[in-house]
Chain A
Amino acid sequence: MRESQFQPFRMFQDGEQVQRQHRDEQRWIADQDTMPVPTVNGEKTNVPSSLSHDGTLLANAHQLMRTGLHRLQEPQPEGLSTRGLQRVKADTGMGLFPLLTFTNASGLFLIALAYYASVLRYGTLALEMPFLIGLLLMFVPNLVRLLSPKPSRLERLYLLCVLGIYFYAVEFMISPHYFSSFDESLHMRTLENLLRFNHLFSLNTMLPVSSYYPGLEIVTDAISTTTGLSPFLSGVTLIIAARLLMVLSLFLLYEAITSSSRMAGIASLIYMINSHFIFFDTSFSYETLAIALAAFLFYILRRYQSAGKDHYWMLYTFWAVLLALTLTHHMTNYVTDGLLLLWSIMSIFLNSSRSVRIHLCITAILAIILSFSYTFFKGNPVWSYLTGYFNGAFTELGAIISGTSVPRPLFTTSAGPSAPIWDRLFMTASVGLTALSLPFGLITLWHQHRHEVLCVVLGVFAFVYPIVQVFRFTVFGVEIADRSTAFLFLAIALVLTLLITHFWPSRVLRWKSIMLIATVLSVIFLGDVMIASGPFYSSLPGPYEVVADGRSVEPEGIQAAIWMLDYLGPDNRVATDRINQMLMNTYGDQYVVTSLYNHIDVSPIFYATQLGPAEQTLIQQAKIHYLVVDLRLSTGLPVEGVYFEVDQNYVAQLKKPLPKASLTKFNTIPQMNRLFDSGDIVIYDTGVFGNAP
């Protein structure tokens, strides 16, 4: 009975035969797009939708579960218009797009006020409340509209593109004059080198790998040199273009998978709630461009898979984009390779045409060969860069599992008290709700979409999300859990969309259901924002904090770096703390001695209470010409957990601020020349110790 009632859902029912069938059927199809498929077939639906009023709690729970499972197996939750199978009114209006643009703008204005209040030291609450409300003002109305079957495809596209840009504006307003985050400053140096020498592969000691993956810097260089815009504004322009590419590619990819503009809209919006969409993936960093290219890549390949043998050009285009991606960001490239490999393996076992199978396998092998070739390209340091990090993370995780090390306490930092209880609840609920929703979405996926190979691939990929959360208990590997969300949400967005649209098909979607969906997704969204905005919202504007990346970048440090470039010239070997490293690297064009490139940890020079023979030898070995000392390090604990690039040997000492005597000891060394003093920042010439080249 069920077999005949629920016809298998064909992804693209747009052949001539199907169209003719729909044309015949349209005589008795009601003129609305919310008609359930059983009704189309002339049969009654048996999907239960209400609870028993006279049963026990157990019976109610049982019925609820049965209802849920029935709904999850809904073969076609979408109406005809959102699937592009019904004619829509030709002269359409703009729908609610103008109104929702206004709510977006209102949310952004509220956030601007929050930033302003934060700088004027009205406290964290004055920042947190309007900031979160502003975000909700952008997110919730768009979500409600996209859940509805009414908007046209064009309106959905408009809404998503505009929301994507407004979300970028949230990040842009944090630092509207210059790139202030740590990662951005690293890439700025690569860009400055490119603008200075007009050639690639110049040295960046703070992120040597960036010189070998310069896709972002190449396009920014093109914009900056041809338009005359500053490197900062050129970077902003590129980020906006990448953001548009990302949103459009996601929408078209999900639309190709689900055959529904409504589901594509919801999936794209769910992708936007991942913790990196607002912050990290809008920063001037190689992942920002690479992840947009990756989404574009999957869109092309999915289109190629549908288009078949007559569209070889799509495959060639795919290879070109793959090459560009390989040259833009290592991790995005490796994740893409992994997904391609999974896709090709799945296509062997699942229903797909022979030519598609062959081309997928060839493409996956080609992608892997390309990645390996470039990884081991002469001089490319990416292998040691990544293996060093992953080895550390897995070793620490292994130690925690074996009981030889204690897990990192969650929600705490070395710099101050732990996060407030409501923040903790939101962050926990965000991860918990996402992980708990996945199995239900996967049930739907398996029942109704397992013939769609890419859908299954993404379903398998979504399983990684709960697994990587264990890294949150490590100090070294917590970034794996954070950074993987940008990739994992490509899959999670689809799985959650399947769950939502099958559990609440558009024909049974009522206000209560919409409110429930909006509440759950808002909790996930806010929790992810709290995770991404750092301890005590330190990545948002506010008063100066010790080693808090963006909050520690201020005029005195920038001017010191500019002074050094003006009066001492570029490329002097400099040792300093984490913040002044990035300033000296970016604004000062100096050669910053790092453990990443030089394999020398300079922190003992600053930690030691006296400049003894060991420290003098270290200065000599590292050929340090100048020391840049920031006396503010002694005023608080570092928000980022470390004062210097590596503080490994001094973790025990990070219970209290660095003693001021450790920072002022250089004044008493007669061989050291104190060249510069701006109050908080002092620059020393190391003199005979430096043995400068």
Chain B
Amino acid sequence: MRRKNLDLLIAIFIALLNIAWTQIPYHLLPVSILLALPLILFLPGYAVTQILFRRRLIGQFLNTTSELIVHPHLKLEHPVGNADLLVLSIGLSLTIDVLLGFGLNIVPIGLTALSWTVSLGLITMICALLAALMRRKDVVVSGGTRKLRPRVTTSDMLLFGLSIVLTGLAIWLSLIRPLSPQPSFTQLWMLPTNQVNNNCTVSIGVQNFETSTLTYRVVLKVNGSQFETWSSISLRPQQKWMRSVQLKPSTTSSIFVEAQLYRTDQPDIIYRNVHLTFHSIITGSNGGYHEQCTLDT
């Protein structure tokens, strides 16, 4: 019994393992992949196939017909050969996934790792148990047939090994291929901070995406006058620099704030440039006055 249903037992075991795995807080990626991929791409379809298209043993077929004519893959009453089984398992698994996705969309939890694992696990287990139930009258024919296994010679192994190496090299070459164009840019930005309080504060940021470490200078101007300067900002590739600046009250109604970025190797050329226009409003409350800044939005 156990041997006859070994495939189904393995399917149930993997489904149970998947459900248990979702309950563990820390997940190891390779284990998650090894467990989940069969559950999504193979097992539900396999279990359904075992119910719908039960495979009759080739031995039975051979006993009733000529041994000279062997064509199980074309025999109509035997729709499930190994290739058929594989294609039905993958195809039905993908079909179940798509339909189940629409089903899970209806429930409040939606499409999450837990809902996927539990629902696919349950489908696999129920179908596997049904298939086992349907198989209970089947008789295991032992020694009647010999499984055809491809013979792999040393030269075959060598060629497979070389193929794997060449394929790996090809993929590796594509992974290390230089980007075109090479990332050689620097981001400069300026944003009003905390617009809820409208307190004329700006946030300035620089991020280096060049190929090497660079030194920058940032100049902040308010209504054309230099307000603040930061020199010798040295940033490695990917490194970020940020400052928050409170602006002084202005006598004019609008405040034009401009930030300019220079590279120290080209000190006279504006490398990046951003600007904001604030509107300054003086409001009174509880006997006091304070200034509010708003952007043009």
Interface residues of A (CB under 8 A from B): 12, 14, 16, 19-20, 22-23, 26, 83-88, 90-94, 97-99, 101-102, 104-106, 108-109, 111-113, 115-116, 119-121, 153-154, 157, 166, 169, 172-174, 176-177, 194, 197-201, 214-215, 218-219, 221-223, 225-229, 237, 241-242, 244-245, 248-249, 251-252, 255, 259, 261, 289, 292-293, 296, 299-300, 303, 306-308, 310-311, 313-314, 316-317, 320-321, 323-324, 327-328, 541-544, 554-556, 559-560, 563, 567-568, 670-680, 685, 687-688, 690, 692
Contacts and interface: CB of A to CB of B under 8 A. Distances in A.
Interface in B109-139: 109-113, 116-117, 120
B292 to A, nearest CB: 17
Contact of B101 (A166, A172, A214, A251): A214
B90 A244 contact: yes
Contacts, number: 340
Nearest to B178: A119
A249 B84 CA distance: 8
10 contacts: A93-B156, A98-B160, A108-B166, A108-B170, A197-B110, A215-B98, A313-B52, A555-B179, A555-B185, A670-B256
B77 interface: yes
Contacts of A157: 83
B140 interface: no
A103 to B, nearest CB: 9
A106 B166 CA distance: 6
A227 B180 contact: no
Given A112-B169, A675-B189, A228 B152 contact: no
Contacts of A679: 185-186, 271-272
B16 interface: no
B111 A221 contact: yes
A563 to B, nearest CB: 6
Contact of B111 (A225, A307, A671): A225
Nearest to B182: A555
Contacts of B186: 678-679
A83 B70 CA distance: 10
A14 B74 contact: yes
Given A20-B66, A225-B111, A676-B274, A84 B71 contact: yes
Interface stretch (B4-12, B25-33, B220-228): B25-33
A120 B173 CA distance: 13
B98 A324 contact: yes
Contacts of A251: 83
Given A26-B68, A92-B148, A219 B97 contact: yes
Given A84-B70, A105-B163, 9 more contacts: A14-B74, A157-B83, A169-B170, A198-B109, A199-B111, A215-B101, A219-B40, A541-B177, A688-B296
B56 interface: no
Given A94-B152, A176-B175, A245 B79 contact: no
Nearest to B86: A248
Contacts of A673: 275-277, 295-296
Contacts of A222: 40, 97, 101, 111, 116, 120
B18 interface: yes
B272 A678 contact: yes
B95 interface: yes
Contacts of B160: 98, 101-102
A109 B170 CA distance: 5
B143 to A, nearest CB: 15
Query: Secondary structure of the A side of the interface?
Result: helix
B170 to A, nearest CB: 4
Contacts of B287: none
A221 B148 contact: no
A285 to B, nearest CB: 15
Contacts of A154: 148, 150
B171 A102 contact: no
Contacts of B180: 119, 121, 541-544, 554
Interface string B30-48: 0011001101110000000
Nearest to B147: A90
Interface string B254-268: 001000010000000
A82 B39 CA distance: 35
A397 B183 CA distance: 44
B177 A559 contact: no
Interface string B140-177: 00000010101111011101101111110111011101
A556 B87 contact: no
Interface string B195-207: 0000000000101
Nearest to A104: B163
B209 interface: yes
Nearest to B119: A222
Contacts of B113: 225-226
A289 B93 CA distance: 13
Chain B CB count within 10 A is highest, among A99, A174, A685, for: A685
B91 A245 contact: yes
A292 B41 CA distance: 14
Contacts of B179: 119, 554-555
Given A14-B75, A119-B177, A677 B188 contact: yes
A219 B95 CA distance: 9
B95 A293 contact: yes
B76 A12 contact: yes
Contacts of A87: 67-70
A227 to B, nearest CB: 4
Contacts of A153: 73
Contact of B40 (A101, A226, A308, A311): A226
B146 A90 contact: yes
B188 A23 contact: no
A94 B91 contact: no
Contacts of B116: 221-222, 225-226
Given A92-B151, A94-B152, A321-B91, A218 B98 contact: yes
B105 A199 contact: yes
A90 B149 CA distance: 9
B15 interface: no
B194 interface: no
B37 A223 contact: yes
Nearest to B80: A303
B83 A248 contact: yes
Contacts of B29: 227-229
Given A94-B152, A673-B276, A105 B166 contact: yes
B250 interface: no
Contact of B166 (A93, A102, A201, A249): A102
Given A219-B40, A296-B91, A120 B178 contact: yes
A481 B274 CA distance: 47
Given A90-B148, A554-B180, A675-B276, A84 B112 contact: no
B162 A105 contact: yes
The 10 closest A-B pairs by CB, nearest first: A84-B71, A218-B101, A198-B110, A687-B296, A105-B166, A173-B174, A98-B159, A112-B170, A226-B36, A296-B91
A249 B99 CA distance: 20
Given A93-B153, A105-B163, A218-B101, A23 B181 contact: no
B79 A303 contact: yes
B137 to A, nearest CB: 18
B110 A86 contact: no
B162 A317 contact: no
Chain B CB count within 10 A is highest, among A90, A222, A567, for: A222
B117 A115 contact: no
B87 A23 contact: no
B251 to A, nearest CB: 18
B58 interface: no
Nearest to B153: A93
Contacts of A101: 159-160, 163
B187 interface: yes
A255 B72 CA distance: 13
B235 interface: no
Given A90-B146, A92-B151, A173-B174, A84 B162 contact: no
